[in-house]
Amino acid sequence: MPIRKKGGRNGSGNGGKGGNGGNGGSGGNGGGRGSGAAFDFLVVGAGFAGSVLAERLARGSGLKVLVIERRPHIAGNAFDYYNEDGHLIHKYGPHIFHTNSREVYNYLSQFTRWRPYEHRVLASVDGQLVPIPINLDTI
C-alpha cells in the first residue's frame, strides 16, 4: 500500500516526486524513530507473500519499502532456525513448497537452499505396497 504524505495525496507536496531527494514518497511518514526517512510503500507482514512483494518492489527500482511484522522474524509460518545444538528447528511445523515453475524455483533459490523431497503415498494391498493414486507405475 502506498504511504500517504501527511496533509496531501501520494506524490504531492514536498514529499512527492522530485521532493525529499526524489524518492517519490511519503513525506515524513515511516522510517526509524526520528530518522526522517521516507518510504514509498508499506508492506504489512513479512510472511511469504509480504517478503516477496517487498523485495520485488525494492530491487533495482530506487523505491523505499518499509516492512512491518508483528513477529520477531520474517518468513511467517515457514520460519526455521538452528538451535544451540545445531539442529534445524521448524518453529511452526515443517512446510513443503511445491511449484512446477522453473522461474519461481530460480527466483526463490536466491534466498534459500532446498532440501530434496519426493512425496509418495502408498497403500497396502494384500501385503504389497502400491502407489496411490493408481497409475502406470502401479501395474
**How many structural domains comprise the chain?**
1
Strand partners for 89: 81
Residue 116 lies in a domain: yes
- Pairing verdict, β 41-44 and 65-68: parallel
What tens-digit pLDDT sequence spans the chain (139 residues)?
Answer: 555 444 444 433 333 333 333 333 344 444 455 566 799 999 999 999 999 999 999 999 999 999 999 999 999 999 999 999 999 999 999 888 889 999 999 999 999 888 888 888 899 999 999 888 876 766 6
Instruction: Express the helix, strand and coil content of the chain in percent, nearest 5 each.
Output: 20, 15, 65
Residue 3 lies in a domain: no
Question: What 8-state DSSP symbol labels residue 101?
Answer: -
For residue 28, what pLDDT is reported?
A: 43
For residue 3, what pLDDT is reported?
A: 56
Residue 30 lies in a domain: yes
Q: What is the pTM of this model?
A: 0.59
Residue 6 lies in a domain: no
Residue 86 lies in a domain: yes
Q: Which three cell numbers stand for residue 111?
A: 534466498
Residue 69 lies in a domain: yes
Residue 2 lies in a domain: no
In angstroms, the CA 97 to CA 57 distance is: 23
* Structural domain boundaries enclosing 92: 13-131
Residue 4 lies in a domain: no
Distance between the two ends of the chain, CA-based, in angstroms? Answer: 54
Collapse the DSSP code of 88 into the 3-class scheme (helix H, G, I; strand E, B; otherwise coil) and give the result: strand
The CATH number given to whatever domain includes residue 25 is 3.40.50.720
